[in-house]
Amino acid sequence: MNHFQYVNGALFAEDVAIAAIAERVGTPFYCYSTATLTRHYTVFRDALAAAGLDATVCFACKANPNMAVIRTLAELGAGADVVSEGEMRQALAAGVPPGRIVFSGVGKTRHELELAVAKGILQINVESEPELELLSEIAAARGIRMPISLRVNPDVDAGTHAKITTGKKENKFGIEWTRAREVYARANALPGIDVVGVACHIGSQLTELEPFRDAFIRVRDLVAMLRADGVNIRRLDLGGGLGVPYDQEIPPEPKAYAEVIRATLGDLGCRIIVEPGRLLVGNAGILVSRIIYVKEGSTRTFVIVDAAMNDLMRPALYEAHHAIFPVTEPAAGAARIEVDVVGPVCETGDTFAKQRSLPPMRAGELLAFGTAGAYGAAMSSTYNTRPLVPEVMVKGAEFAVVRDRPSYEEMRALESLPAWFKS
């Protein structure tokens, strides 16, 4: 469920007309619904609580690192799963307490580890032996023992897109399953390291529960072995990955996901950490764009919009589907035609949809791209020297710009010419 609905023939975000936002901030822009963020978080949190789990929900900031989004979730009680110094600083600035921040990622630098230790975050999910040794050195030098979980790669096929699966042995993430006990023994003996748990994450946009179940059973077996080895495991970080409906998918409900956790891991006496990203923010955001031209080709009709692959790159990167719908509601029974919806960037890959059925459209009309709150603005770029687009948040009848569109002068101010060029 989301809070983007037609009201008297016009698309609204909660109680604000999308056309009114477009008039104020220009197009393209991202729009986020506070009510949808709130609903998705509370449904997920309450499902875990109803299953009797001692769970902490840490929002995976990579899905949408906008500070207003993080703050909205933080005020509801969410923590943050971060994968870079920038995300850590963003979460802290948004008001997430350090004790609710988990630092994941396969390539943490010395500086990033030093910052995480200094800030006193909840835990670091260590993904390699070199990282483990470096972290031990950093923490021991400060006279502390840093809480860690080792991210273990359970070699489970998530059954999702190859570019977003993370739990198979050929993926770059985590400690290989067969070496986990050996690495845990080393971690348990290092100064500066407090081994508190096991972490795993098998991929993104999962629409079936069985891969989760398979991975969690492996985690359960590992916990039993580690406890037998004298390692005091008391936290289980299960990552995220539960999917959302982009097209015809019917992902499991949060309560079914929570039941899988309860059935496989609920009796281990561990604190559960889960890191949903897309699930919380995907359907809470749309991208709004204006039609520049409708171009009649020899074999198809092109609807050319002012958003481009640099603004929403998921279709180009993953062949991903996003619902596309006019901001002015079509009349009941209106005719539809097959069109290609494309952007203005000089790439054939700058295509949002091929042969999509839409009502006839004219230049100047507004289109919305659904389920764009996750990995939309977060993955955007300035390709073709196009400014990053604004992000807008709606709450009830109010809206605010939560990231401005930079001017060309502001973009250019980040660059400089070397002294050998004459002015």
Cβ 17 vs Cβ 328: under 8 Å? no
Cβ 92 vs Cβ 61: under 8 Å? no
Distance CA 65, CA 218 (A): 31
Distance CA 80, CA 102 (A): 6
Question: Of all helices (H) and strands (E), which one includes residue 217?
Answer: helix 210-228
Distance CA 288, CA 306 (A): 9
Distance CA 379, CA 135 (A): 29
Q: Assign residue 234 a region (left: φ > 0; alpha: ψ between -120 and 50; beta: otherwise).
A: alpha
**Whether 200 is catalytic:** no
Cβ-count burial of 68 within 10 angstroms (0-12 exposed, 13-18 middle, 19+ buried)?
buried
Phi, psi dihedral angles at 79 (to 5 degrees): -95, -165
In 109-268, DSSP assigns E strands to 123-126, 146-153, 175-176, 193-199, 235-237
Cβ 38 vs Cβ 74: under 8 Å? no
Active site residues: 346
